[in-house]
Structure 1
Amino acid sequence: MIGTTILRRTPRSPLLNAAHRSISSTAPRAQRFLIYASDKTEEGILARRFQVRPQHLERIHTFIKNGTFRDGGLIFDPESQPDSGKVAATGSCMILEAETLADAKELVESDIYYTSGVWDPEKLVIVPFIPATLPRA
């Protein structure tokens, strides 16, 4: 093609893409993704969740610092009693920032909850998300 320059980028992992965004005006803009990750329902899943929780939280703290993790937390059974400290976890919900849907998916699929079999890959939902901007009161 005449007058066309094709630039090829060396592929980076989504973790690096999310953690080290370029300031260049041609860099893809990060977008937000809503993630709904249901826990598996098999016996012992809650024990597995708590066993790997420290690694999950360590990673989340890194994502908070670099702006990848915007919000999120535990989803629990409505019959649970959160005030009593007895909560039956049923999954996780979070809002992540990434350049593409594929990057967001790789971030989720590399989480210890996913790799250790806490989250159910068959029920995983990752969708683009635009938060509402509410007027200040």
Structure 2
Amino acid sequence: MASRNTFVLLNSRCSFQHLYQYQHRIAAATNLVARQCPSCSSINSRLQRNMGSIAGAKNEYMVIVPDKEGALQKRIEVRGVHLANTKPMIDSGFLKFGGAMLEFHPKESQTPPMKGSVLLVVAESSEAVREQLSKDIYATSGVWDIEKMQITPFKSAIRLAL
């Protein structure tokens, strides 16, 4: 089993000594637990943060999929189906964000010059990512160049809503 670190997050009333005193190594699930510091009775939180990987755990992957040459018209034709089919991927937790890569930012009246897609997904492996995305209508209709898909292990530091 992978080891994990427990970090005690103390509020400003606690001293650094208390923080150091309550750090220790554990092997438990990730969670956030509020409790009182026994030394000074101020409220603190204990955050157990995964510091290793566990078999079967899901990880983030940054995916870049270029479009095939001349696929813009086909992309536009099947885009509605593609977007509708993202809902189950979002609901399952697989898809965290996605969007089109552009040649440039178009003027308001121009068709966006899309040239591929960028996605952040969560899966057990890069193979699982490839398998899932190969079923997308952009892949099956010949928009995406699946052979050139880049799947890179990724760890979000910041993720904000738009």
What TM-score do the two structures reach when normalised by structure 1? Answer: 0.69
Q: Distance in 2 between matches of 1:58 and 1:82?
A: 26
Pairwise mapping of residues 60-75 of structure 1 onto structure 2 (< 5 A)?
60-75=86-101
- Structure 1 residue 92 displacement after superposition: 0.6
Pairwise mapping of residues 29-68 of structure 1 onto structure 2 (< 5 A)?
29-42=57-70, 45-68=71-94
Pairwise mapping of residues 79-90 of structure 1 onto structure 2 (< 5 A)?
80-90=105-115
Structure 2, unmatched stretches of 5+, are 1-53
Q: Percent identity over the alignment?
A: 32
Q: Distance in 2 between matches of 1:27 and 1:123?
A: 28
Pick aligned residue for 2:156 from 110, 124, 131: 131
| C-alpha distance after superposition, 1:85-123 (max 9, x if no partner) | 431111110011111111011011111101111011232
2:136 alignment counterpart: 111
More helix by share: 1
Matching residue's letter, 2:61: F
| C-alpha distance after superposition, 1:5-33 (max 9, x if no partner) | xxxxxxxxxxxxxxxxxxxxx87111111
Pick aligned residue for 1:120 from 145, 152, 160: 145
What TM-score do the two structures reach when normalised by structure 2? Answer: 0.59
SS of the equivalent of 1:107 reads helix
SS of the equivalent of 1:83 reads coil
Q: Distance in 1 between matches of 2:135 and 2:79?
A: 14
Tell me the matched-pair count.
106
More strand by share: 2
Q: Distance in 1 between matches of 2:81 and 2:158?
A: 33
1:97 alignment counterpart: 122
- RMSD in angstroms over aligned alpha carbons? 2.0
Matching residue's letter, 2:143: V
| C-alpha distance after superposition, 1:112-135 (max 9, x if no partner) | 10111101123211111111248x
1:14 alignment counterpart: none
- Structure 1 runs (4+) deviating above 6 angstroms are none
Matching residue's letter, 1:40: K
C-alpha spacing 1:82/1:74, structure 2 compared with 1 (3 Å): farther
